[in-house]
Structure 1
Amino acid sequence: MGNRVVPAILIALLVILHAQLWFGRGSVPTVARMTEQLHAQNQQNQQALLANNRLAAEVRDLKEGLEMVEEKARLELGMVKTNEIYVQIAK
């Protein structure tokens, strides 16, 4: 009976280890799911970085020159300069 205890304990430990591998905190499905979440978060971060860079460039343009202010006023507010005739062509 003594020679069957050690293999039984080793088999039990192997079963516990295998169960942890498939169902525990660091299991294969959990790691795969977290890897997908990490990939999605990295994509969101890249998009946010592009948006931040675009906004930073726009702020820099607004601080440095009046051309951007004039362009925004013309496009968004429909403003015209003095002695200028505004013509709108409908398509």
Structure 2
Amino acid sequence: MIGLNLTALGIPSEAEFTEAYYEAARHRLRMNRFHMAFALFRFAVIFEGIAARARAGNAADANAAAISPLAASFAQHAVDAPGRDP
């Protein structure tokens, strides 16, 4: 989403989204670096699984191979995960 005007598209900032999430969850527990990294690694593994199924020829979508680069990208974001340390 680099270069897109997220406000014009109606997409909240990370801070706005996070605040809305905590309000909906009805708790004030905050995510720390571990939680953020864990979630990002989880997505990396999901994307790797989709890519593996695409390579094996049994993916649910014909465009599944395009997901492959997301695995490495999410893994790198997990390593660089922002957030508060406990």
When normalised by structure 2's length, the TM-score is: 0.33
Q: By percentage of residues, which structure has more helix?
A: 1
Larger RCO: 1 or 2 (CA < 8 Å, sep 6+): 2
